[in-house]
C-alpha cells in the first residue's frame, strides 16, 4: 500500500509541475538556455551522454550473464536483472508516449515557432515529450535507491544533473524532463512490485 501511495504522489507531483512548466516556464527557459556560454554547454553535452540507455545495456547485460551463469551468484544477478528490466520497461513506455504526444522539440520553436504537440508523430527521435535520457537516469537512480538506500542522494543527484543537461543544451523543455523523471521512478516501482509479488530477493 505504501508503494502505491508513493507512486501516486510521484505521478501527481510530476504531472502538476509539468503542466505548470508547459504553460509558464518552458519557452522562457528554453530561450535563456539558448544564450548560455559555450563552456557551460560543453559540460552539459558531456553530462548528457551518461543518460543514454545503451551504456547501461553494454555494462549490465554481460554482467548479468557472468554473475548468473558463470559465478552462480543469484542475488547479484537478480539485482542487475531488476535494473535492466526497469530501464527496458521505462524505455518502452517512453517510446510509446513520444509517439502519442509528438511534441515539438525546442529546435522547432527556435527555427519555425512551433510549440506544443503534434499527436501520433511516427519518428519519435524528433519528438520531445518526455525526455528519454531523463527517463533512463531516474529509472537507474530509483533502482539504485531501492537496492542500496545509502546511495539514494548521489543516485538522484546524478539523475537531476542529466535532466538539467537536457534543458541546458535545449534538447528538451523543463516539462519533458519533469515527465521523464516521473516515468522513470514509476516504472521502477512497478517492476519492483512484480519482483516482490514473485518473492525475488534483492537484499
pLDDT per residue as tens digits for the range 38-88:
999 999 999 999 999 999 999 999 999 999 999 999 999 999 999 999 999
> CA separation (Å) from 60 to 67, 77, 85, 140?
10, 9, 11, 12
- 131: closest CA among 86, 84, 85, 164? 164
CB of 171 within 8 A of CB of 48? yes
Average confidence (pLDDT) over 127-151: 96
What average pLDDT does the segment 179-185 reach? 96
Q: 17-43 in b/e burial notation, b at 16+ Cβ within 10 A?
A: bbeebbeeebbebbeebeeeeeeebee
Residue 166 confidence (pLDDT): 98
pLDDT band at 5 (very low <50, low <70, confident <90, very high): confident
Quote the pLDDT of residue 4. 72
What secondary structure letter does DSSP report for 130?
A: S
Mean pLDDT of the chain: 93
CA–CA gap between residue 4 and residue 62 (Å, rounded): 33
Residue 202: inside a domain, yes or no?
Answer: no
Cell of 91: 524505455
pLDDT at 83: 98
Within-domain flag for 23: yes
**Does residue 134 sit within a domain?**
yes
Distance CA 102, CA 90 (A): 18
pLDDT at 139: 98
pLDDT band at 184 (very low <50, low <70, confident <90, very high): very high
Work out the pLDDT band at 10, boundaries 50, 70, 90: confident
Domain assignment of residue 82, given as a range: 2-197
Local confidence band at 125 (pLDDT 50, 70, 90 cut-offs): low
What confidence category does residue 119 fall into, taking pLDDT thresholds of 50, 70 and 90?
confident
Confidence category of residue 145, pLDDT binned at 50, 70, 90? very high
Residue 104 is part of a domain; what is its CATH number? Answer: 1.20.144
- Total number of domains constituting the chain: 1
Q: Is residue 203 part of a domain?
A: no
Residue 111 in any domain: the answer is yes
Nearest CA-CA partner of 101 in 71, 131, 80, 81: 131
Percent of the chain, pLDDT > 70?
Answer: 96
Amino acid at each position: 500500500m505504501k508503494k502505491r501511495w508513493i507512486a501516486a504522489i510521484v505521478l501527481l507531483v510530476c504531472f502538476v509541475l509539468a503542466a505548470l512548466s508547459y504553460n509558464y516556464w518552458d519557452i522562457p527557459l528554453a530561450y535563456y538556455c539558448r544564450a548560455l556560454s559555450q563552456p557551460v554547454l560543453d559540460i552539459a553535452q558531456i553530462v548528457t551522454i551518461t543518460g543514454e540507455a545503451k551504456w547501461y545495456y553494454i555494462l549490465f547485460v554481460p554482467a548479468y550473464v557472468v554473475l548468473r551463469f558463470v559465478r552462480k551468484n543469484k542475488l547479484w544477478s537478480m539485482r542487475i536483472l531488476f535494473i535492466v528490466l526497469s530501464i527496458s520497461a521505462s524505455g518502452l513506455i517512453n517510446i510509446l508516449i513520444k509517439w502519442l504526444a509528438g511534441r515539438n522539440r525546442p529546435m522547432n520553436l527556435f527555427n519555425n515557432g512551433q510549440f506544443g504537440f503534434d499527436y501520433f508523430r511516427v519518428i519519435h527521435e524528433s519528438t520531445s515529450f518526455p525526455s528519454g535520457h531523463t527517463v533512463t537516469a531516474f529509472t537507474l537512480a530509483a533502482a539504485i535507491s531501492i537496492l542500496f538506500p545509502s546511495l539514494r542522494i548521489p543516485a538522484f543527484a546524478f539523475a537531476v544533473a542529466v535532466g538539467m543537461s537536457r534543458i541546458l543544451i535545449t534538447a528538451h523543455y523543463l516539462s519533458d524532463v519533469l515527465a521523464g523523471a516521473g516515468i522513470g521512478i514509476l516504472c521502477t516501482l512497478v517492476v519492483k512490485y512484480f519482483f516482490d509479488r514473485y518473492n525475488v530477493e534483492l537484499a
